Structure 1
């Protein structure tokens, strides 16, 4: 597999609808409550990662089921406008997935999901075989695509096949409001056996390995088959473990507007760096701790740019060049 082959990202697109702040307090004399105003942005963990990768300059192919509805058109325009290859996406008849986010003062988001019978989860083996038939150095997936049925089982079967010819990267991105964390915990040993790279947040870790430190959890995931484990720690930076060797990188000081898309964008910066040095395409046997450290630094840099703006709006490569 050559370094100029793209990174493929498989998973969902989600319409992130942010509750707009009320400009005036409600009036007791009003006959009806003021309407709720939503500010809708294209999102979804895998789609965010694909957009961020492409904007950084990595050739990126998105494998998703894009609805025919107004949100599906929003996703397609956003992905294509960022330089993502949509030639292997599926045009789906089902509606798009919607997430309504109410932001707290510290920028954290409280979500409600509208995801029953939506386009993202209806993958078949035949669709996936066609979508993933082109050469790729790495297939990155995770989030709800791996646990929402009926498509989740088909995605897992695809990973077993793709792993014979490309690096497999996985980000569980636990969503306890939609799926019981026990479902993730039951599947995690299988995913570790399939994945070369496993990325989790500290919140994910709390659901998947309650009470375990990032270092303890990484060692357990290595024992189950994963070569490289990455745990993002919010403002405390990120820790990686490459075959047991631990590497830590601090997060830059950043004014946080909101944290939407931070982990997804971190993963884009991380994979972008590994792709640039030709480290992707196989089982990571030649990957060095120095390459991992550089990739972690890229990841936290991209994530810092994302949390400084509202919504998942990753930077372009030129934006980061301008910071130097």
Structure 2
């Protein structure tokens, strides 16, 4: 079983003006939430671990998890509000986010509230702003450190400076998690924010020295690249008419984990033994899945049959 840890929220898209305001289109979201849904749609058994509000938005998020077949037994319910992420899109369909989440349910997960992991859990996925805001950040990082000897830990920083604007804070957390996670996936955009001027290969080499077994860098329309201690691979991006890129990185992560699992490489030993051609196959699969999401509005992740 996969356990995805982090935030669940509502993405609120701004629409046309009305006589007294704006039309809004609220959609279920949050990077870890999307990864959990993506894994379920790709036919992986998955549970979601995180704080979830009992308000109307939280109930809608819970209903979505249930409908997708995501196990909700590790959710920690709270009367605190749901985080709202107001999304605006530029002419190229690239999203800009404004978060309204201070004191929200997804941030309030503390160590004493942390549920016990099921024995079947063998992969823990972490990421996004839940790793840097408190108390949930410290709680999840401690969980990752505690479990890395017995379960595979995967991590995607998914930097959001409009949630936590201090780049040094993000750097500290990413450096800490790079020493804990055996699989790290990061976008070139995030690398540019975290380590300006440093080549991706140099950052990957540093993370591999710290303990990672696989480092993957996504480059949007330029495809993706990956390193292990013994192998290196690149894959071109799938051609697609982009509607928007919301959820593309989350799709890539879910598909990356899925394909590694399907090929029998989703373990520490399996990552270490990845040959270059198989690694390229994994990148291509994840890229195809991300392209499906880019062709749709919002984080509408593909099902297994839609990823050839």
Cα deviation per residue 1:15-60 (whole Å; 9 max; x = unaligned)?
00001145xxx8xxxxxx5421110110000000110110010111
Match of 2:296 in 1: 309
Match of 2:279 in 1: 292
**Which secondary structure state, in structure 1, belongs to the residue aligned with residue 179 of structure 2?**
helix
User: Shift of the alpha carbon at 1:188?
Assistant: 2.5
On the 8 A contact 2:11/2:84 being kept in 1, the answer is yes
User: Shift of the alpha carbon at 1:126?
Assistant: 2.9
Scaled by the length of structure 2, what TM-score is found?
0.95
Match of 1:159 in 2: 144
On the 8 A contact 1:68/1:91 being kept in 2, the answer is yes
1:202 aligns with 2:185: no
Distance 2:298 2:20 in 1: 24
1:320 aligns with 2:304: no
User: Shift of the alpha carbon at 1:100?
Assistant: 0.3
Identify if the C-alpha distance between structure 1 residues 21 and 237 changes in structure 2 by more than 3 Å, giving closer, same or farther: farther
Q: How does 1:15-94 map to 2 (within 5 A)?
A: 15-22=10-17, 33-94=19-80
Match of 1:233 in 2: 219
Q: How does 1:163-312 map to 2 (within 5 A)?
A: 163-179=148-164, 180-243=166-229, 245-282=231-268, 284-312=271-299
User: Shift of the alpha carbon at 1:290?
Assistant: 3.2
Distance 1:107 1:313 in 2: 15
On the 8 A contact 1:170/1:199 being kept in 2, the answer is yes
Match of 1:143 in 2: 128
Cα deviation per residue 1:37-86 (whole Å; 9 max; x = unaligned)?
11011000000011011001011111121110111111111122112111
Distance 1:126 1:290 in 2: 45
Identify if the C-alpha distance between structure 1 residues 216 and 209 changes in structure 2 by more than 3 Å, giving closer, same or farther: same
On the 8 A contact 2:16/2:22 being kept in 1, the answer is no
Rg comparison, structure with higher value: 1
Match of 1:3 in 2: none
Task: Provide structure 1 residue ranges, at least 5 long, that are not aligned to the other structure.
Answer: 1-5, 27-32
Distance 1:80 1:319 in 2: 21
Match of 1:111 in 2: 97
Deviates further, 311-320 or 199-208: 311-320
On the 8 A contact 2:231/2:274 being kept in 1, the answer is no
**Which secondary structure state, in structure 1, belongs to the residue aligned with residue 265 of structure 2?**
coil
Instruction: State the superposition RMSD in angstroms.
Output: 1.6
User: Shift of the alpha carbon at 1:131?
Assistant: 4.2
On the 8 A contact 1:136/1:281 being kept in 2, the answer is no
